[in-house]
Amino acid sequence: MQIYRYMDIGTAKPTRQERLAAAHHMIDIVDPDQDFDAAAYAEMADDCIRKIMKKGKTAFLVGGTGFYIKALVYGLFAEGPSDPRIRSRLQREAEREGAAALHGRLRGVDGPTAEKIHPNDAYRTIRALEVFEVTGRPLSEFQQRHGFREKRFTTLEIGLSWPRPTLYERINRRVDLMMAQGFYQEVQGLLNRGYAPEVKAMQSLGYRHLVQVICGNTPLTEAVALIKRDHRRYAKRQLTWFGARDSVHWVNPDQKRIAREAIRSFL
C-alpha cells in the first residue's frame, strides 16, 4: 500500500528520518486510482533490486504482503488467457450488482481463489472469473500448476515474532496513533481529491472503514474498533501464511544479535 501517493498515515510509511537512514524504494510511485497488481510490482521491484546490486549493495525487501513477495522472488504464474469482451461484461455486472455479488459467484466456481480475495476487491474478482469463463478452469489451478518453483533471487527470510497478546496490543495502539496523526483527515482529503470509495486502494484496511464514517454510514468509534479488529485478523492471516514457509527464520524483534549473525552468515 505504500506505493500509493497521498496514503501516508494509514499505510505507516517510513518517516523522513528513516528514509535518511537508509534509501527506500517503491514508495509514492502511483496514484490511488491507477491499476497496480503483483505483476507490476514484481517488475518494478526487480528493476530496483538489480540497480542496488550493481552498486555492490544488498537489498532488503520489507513488508508483509506475502503474495507480492512471492511474485517478486519466484516469478508469476501464467494466469491464463484473457478476453476483453468478457472482462467488460463482468465490469458492468460489478457496477450493477456490486463486487460482493461477483465474489459470491467466484466462491461457487473457485473457492480457493475466493478465499484469498476480499469481497470488495472487484478487480481481482473479475480477473479470476474472466479466467474461469475463458478456460473453464479455476485460476487456483493455474497457480497450483506454477507452484512458485522458479526462484529468481537468493534470499534470507527473517520473520518477526511477537507473543500474540503483545502483537494485538501493539496493533490497537498503532491504530490509536494513526487516528491521532490525522488518519480521518487523510481519507477525507483523498475523497476531496476525487478518489471514489470504489477505487481499489480505497477499499484497503482502514481506508474503507473511514469512508463509511465520512459517508454517514458508521459511527467513528465503531469504525475505529473495526479497524483494530480487521488489522488483528490480517496479522493472524500473515502469521499463518508465513508460518507455513520452512524458509523463514523467526526471531523476536529484540533478538538483534541473532538476526545480525544470520545476515552475516548469509552474506
pLDDT in tens, the chain (267 residues): 999 999 999 999 999 999 999 999 999 999 999 988 888 899 999 999 999 999 999 999 998 788 888 889 987 765 566 788 998 999 999 989 998 999 999 999 999 999 988 888 888 899 899 989 998 989 888 777 655 556 788 999 999 999 999 999 999 999 999 999 999 999 999 999 999 999 989 999 999 999 999 999 999 999 999 999 999 999 998 898 888 888 899 999 999 999 999 999 999
The pTM assigned to this predicted structure is 0.75
In CATH, which of 1.10.20.140, 3.20.20.140, 3.40.30.10, 3.40.640.10 is domain 84-146?
1.10.20.140
Q: Is 151 left (phi over 0), alpha (psi -120 to 50) or beta?
A: beta
- Among 62, 66, 260, 253, CA closest to 161: 253
Q: How many residues does the chain have?
A: 267
Distance CA 240, CA 247 (A): 14
Task: Tell the burial category of 132 from Cβ atoms under 10 Å away from its Cβ (0-12, 13-18, 19+).
Answer: buried
Contact between residue 106 and residue 128 where contact means Cβ atoms under 8 Å apart: yes
159 phi, psi to nearest 5 deg: -110, 140
Quote the cell numbers at residue 135.
478456460
Which CATH architecture group holds 156-267? Answer: Orthogonal Bundle (1.10)
Residue appearing with cell numbers 480505497: 202
Quote the cell numbers at residue 145.
500448476
Task: List the chain domain ranges.
Answer: 84-146, 156-267
